[in-house]
Chains A and B, each alone.
Chain A
Amino acid sequence: MKKLLVYLKGYEKETVLAPLFKMLEALFELFVPLVMAAVIDTGIARGDRDYIVRMCLLLIALGIIGLVCSITAQFFAARAATGFSTRLRHALFSHIQGLSYTEMDTVGTSTLITRMTSDINQVQSGVNLVLRLFLRSPFIVFGAMIMAFTVDTKAAWIFVVTIPLLSIVVFGIMLWTMPLYKRVQAALDSVLRLTRENLSGVRVIRAFNKEKEEQAHFQEQNEKLTGLQKFVGRISGLMNPITYVIVNGAIVVLLYTGALRVDGGVLTQGAVVALVNYMSQILVELVKLANLIITVTKAIACGNRIQGVFEVENSLRPGAYTGQENQIHSVEFDRVGLTYAGASNESLTDISFRAVTGETVGVIGGTGSGKTSLVNLIPRFYDATRGAVLYDGKDVKEYDPQALRKKIGIVPQKAVLFAGTIADNLRWGKPDATEEEMWEALTIAQAKEFVEKKEGKLSAVVAQGGKNLSGGQRQRLTIARALIRRPEVLILDDSASALDFATDAALRRAIAGMKERPITFIVSQRTSSILHADRIVVLDDGEIAGIGTHEQLLSCCPVYQEIYDSQFRDHKEGK
């Protein structure tokens, strides 16, 4: 959390002024009981009406000054807090954007989104409250004590005893219950989980006749939650009665001591009233302080979580090389191995092959055989943990990732589009693309026909995630987005899964007919998609089970034969 405070930089003035003005307000508030004492002792005792009126005007003046100070303080606090959170959000967003795939996998997207939104909001209100109250409350507590000393030293000792006693009760109960509240939250989470599970798994639960057991399980968890809640409630319910006893007990003692002092002529009646007033003020502020501390602890926890994200370092060390302008490019895997962070086994082992401009490489294998891992190494989404991936003869680790990725067109497995128009989405591939270029890319991607039918054509609106388009349409747009930049390398990661066989075939033909043919990688589970590739890499459990053309593999690679048979056996027999 501490390290986050640098984002208050530029708001030093506000950060200092806000509590300062708040303290001024508190200071004026502390004078009120004294003025009232003067009214009693001087005004009433002497029957001086003018004096009473003057003193009351003074009270109003104190109120106005307090109001002005307080509003000034609120303004500075709000400015510092919102400025802080704005800068923090900017820094965090840009930090997250710089994280590589490895970090995104380990941290998890939903966590990051929570950090960016609700956690930062919590921290913001924490900062705001701290600036406003953190000095005010202790100031009033100790100020009241000091004022008591100015009134009467002996009576003031009652304050010296009462304040620590109150603090022990208030903060003790708070410290005791805080970890318990965490347990309550955990219990609530499991009740929530059970509810969600029973909704999403309703078919399975009913198919296995688990309703009664689930209900019993739920009741058990629910009872646990209730028990915890009652337990915590009983403890925190002690706070009010105990503090009430302490403060009012202190007032009783104060009245008794006051009586002795008044009798001895040391104190006046008004002074005793002032002391009683100070005592009441203390309790109010201590309770406020306790609530504030709860909010601040929450904010600090959120802050630490945010700090945790900042501490996640990008494991990808960017190089400086930006590549060369060749006619012929090459991608080469040299005994590449890949172990994901936290995994115990290699996901890719000893991968070696080479492809040059104009060639098509098919990558095939079962679920989890490492197909996507393999192509993800080319744009440096992950770094090889053994061996090297070379682009144009140079290790991709020496490239600037941004420059390297500019050369590559990727169509990911999941067809993701962004809110905007079709043209906006295509411009992701090439920011300065002309309409002509857009149509060309759409034509190759077999998307021209449906885009032409859309109202507004290129300026047709795409909803977030492309929800207003069918799976096949989305996929073809993502292909066009990759093609429009005329990539040197084109990666189609199982990107034709939502296309029917005819469109898939037409797409492959169109890509083969492109003027500047890229090095094309086609990842697929379907043999039909990669049948005609110049080279097919067959992966099995992260290792190359065979490499060659369709015919070669059919005759000598058992894994490939099995895959092929599983999809074509009957078809052949059927014909």
Chain B
Amino acid sequence: MAKSVKKLDSKQIAILKKVLRYMKRYWFFLGLSLVLAAVTVASTLYLPLLIGDAVDCLLGPGKVDFDGLFSILATMGVLIAVTAFAQWVMNVCNNKMTYQIVRDIRNEAFAKIEILPLKYIDGHAHGEVVSRVIADVDQFSDGLLMGFTQLFSGVLTIFGTLGFMLSVNVGITMVVLFVTPVSLLVASFIAKRTFQMFRKQSEARGEQTALIDEMIGNQKVVQAFGQEKESLKRFDEINGRLQKYSLQAIFFSSITNPATRFVNSLVYTGVGIAGAFAALSGHLSVGQLTSFLSYANQYTKPFNEISGVVTELQNAIACAGRVFELIEEQPQVPEPADAVVLRDVRGKVELKDVSFSYTPEQKLIEELNLAVRPGQRIAIVGPTGCGKTTVINLLMRFYDVCGGRIQVEGTDIRQLTRESLRAGYGMVLQETWLRYGTVRDNIAIGKPDATMEEVVAAAKACHAHSFIRRLPKGYDTVIGEDGGSLSQGQKQLLCISRVMLCSPPMLILDEATSSIDTRTELKIQNAFAKLMEGRTSFIVAHRLSTIREADCILVMKDGKIIEQGKHDWLLAQNGFYARLYNSQFAQ
């Protein structure tokens, strides 16, 4: 135990200090809890002593000291009440402290997520971030906060027991002191041996899960090719191995309890024999022997607990570290104090010498210049990875430019409030995103106070009304997280309706129709055309049919605009655009 505590390095201590900062708010409960823990331990330990005294009053027929007994029993009654009350209040304090700290940390972590730069969110697996906010915080609360109190009362119990035992009889205490470590040794010996077996078990389990994932996840293909028997054979092979390793791991680890129990019974016997001899020589009363026997039982328990707590504590520190890492992550560039609120947007957008790259080593956009007049329709085309979506990221200020500047209505967007800039755009992305909630809530996300009529009108304009009507509860149908059972096309129609409802002054459509069939797209085109009327719009697409009517087509390649102009003109140039266009219809 001492060894593992020493292993706390400076980094872990730094984390512990941060934890203490969160606890500070609840210092009163922490203090109370510690005091009560001490009270509980002391009175719990005092009780066996009283029982022993009581037993000593029962000397034999006609020799019972009833007066002494009554006063002892009365003390016991008071003590029991005090212990129970202290224990209960301590539990309440710990609960309150633990869960409120957990709440505070989660709130802070979530608040950080809302202001993290997109770079962080794009660069980290979402599952990993989620597990920091959920699982890590849980582990942390279980381990660290519970661990603190357990460790505290565990250590108190050990020293308290020792003290009580020493006060009664030194010799027998020594017996307990020397035999007890044996049970710890046995436990750690078994734990070391079984570790390998558990590793093998989890390896086999992982292998099996991978196979299940693959075969059941793609069951349709498995069935189409009649591979059921084959995959069952592979499954059984792993299953057999798993059985073998599981048996070993479970069996050997389950020896721990009987083994330590056996050692404890040795302690018990040792105390019994030493105590009995001491009693014979008059050094010990029968009642004291009784107290000793119950101390012997109590003494070993916290040792086993503490060794568990220490491992958990270290795990908890690691978890806390991961959460704090998220909380301390650099937020997006804050808005300047004198940030301007963008008003009366007409749709004048200029990009001046814009350069940008996600990583310093790999330049992406360089010296991009573009002047868009209000109401113009700008299409951005080019092969995959040429930087089309990046332009959108910059326009919306999801990322900040590395060089040059972007101006809306003549103001650098970094001088604007993010809120007013983004409110100026309506955005539909290729990746549809819907949230858990009703269809109506999803459409009205940008305008929560929209009336039902407005919502329906927007949906009708986007040809979404007819399929929504056919859903079980129409607009009140609750759709699962990320759209649930809706088809990709239907999800996209909802996303388009969402923008339609807000009718913002500028539009960004990033591959907005790529998952919709061409005939529906043709119909939505009308809706889009209406939506785009008089609005500056940026359209990214690799389906060229979508963008033929643009006022200006930007042809991008490797982060640069290599051609710029109207469809017919570009075709006539017979350049990159013409090649791109023709490749789509090559027979």
Contact = CB atoms under 8 A, between A and B. Distances in A.
Given A192-B130, A226-B103, A276 B51 contact: yes
A66 B294 CA distance: 20
Contacts of B63: 263
A36 B489 CA distance: 79
A202 B429 contact: no
A39 B225 contact: no
A412 B224 contact: yes
Interface stretch (B345-353, B516-524, B528-536): B516-524
Given A89-B239, A109-B216, A109-B217, A43 B92 contact: no
The 10 closest A-B CB pairs, nearest first, are A237-B91, A265-B61, A233-B95, A70-B258, A367-B489, A366-B517, A241-B84, A63-B265, A566-B518, A263-B64
A226 B99 contact: yes
A259 interface: yes
B28 interface: no
B142 to A, nearest CB: 12
B113 A32 contact: no
B99 A229 contact: yes
Contact of B51 (A251, A528, A571): A251
B77 A252 contact: yes
A56 B445 CA distance: 77
A85 B265 contact: no
A172 interface: no
Interface of A is mostly: helix
6 contacts: A44-B276, A66-B261, A113-B209, A237-B92, A255-B69, A405-B224
Contacts of B205: 117, 121
A277 interface: yes
Contact of B226 (A25, A365, A405): A405
A193 B110 CA distance: 12
A86 B240 contact: yes
Contact of B121 (A43, A83, A199, A218): A199
B427 interface: yes
Contacts of B170: none
B60 A104 contact: no
Nearest to B110: A218
A248 B76 contact: yes
Given A203-B398, A562-B522, A230 B96 contact: yes
Interface string A397-425: 00001100110101010001011000000
B304 interface: no
Given A201-B433, A230-B99, A568-B585, A98 B265 contact: no
A192 to B, nearest CB: 5
A229 B103 CA distance: 10
Given A233-B99, A255-B54, 18 more contacts: A25-B258, A52-B273, A60-B269, A71-B258, A74-B251, A86-B240, A90-B239, A97-B231, A100-B223, A188-B134, A201-B435, A206-B398, A255-B58, A256-B69, A367-B516, A405-B225, A418-B214, A525-B517
A401 B220 CA distance: 13
A368 B487 contact: yes
Interface residues of B, number: 144
B278 to A, nearest CB: 10
B254 interface: yes
A187 to B, nearest CB: 12
B107 A259 contact: no
A94 B232 contact: yes
Contact of B519 (A74, A97, A100, A566): A566
A132 interface: yes
A344 B269 CA distance: 75
A227 to B, nearest CB: 9
Interface string B221-244: 111111110111001100110110
Interface string B131-174: 00110000000000000000000000000000000000000000
Interface of B is mostly: helix
Interface stretch (A152-160, A207-215, A434-442, A548-556): A207-215
Interface string B77-99: 10011011101100110011011
A208 to B, nearest CB: 4
A425 B261 CA distance: 55
Nearest to A367: B489
A272 to B, nearest CB: 6
Interface in B335-352: none
A222 B106 contact: yes
A234 interface: yes
B216 A259 contact: no
Interface stretch (B13-21, B285-293, B366-374): B285-293
Contacts of A40: 276, 286, 289
Contacts of A412: 220-221, 224
Interface stretch (A299-307, A497-505, A515-523): A497-505
A464 to B, nearest CB: 6
B522 to A, nearest CB: 4
A368 B489 contact: yes
B386 interface: no
Contact of B110 (A198, A206, A268, A481): A198
B61 A262 contact: yes
A327 interface: no
Interface string B264-290: 011011001100110110000010011
B452 interface: no
A49 B106 CA distance: 65
Nearest to A481: B225
Interface in A476-506: 481, 500-502, 505
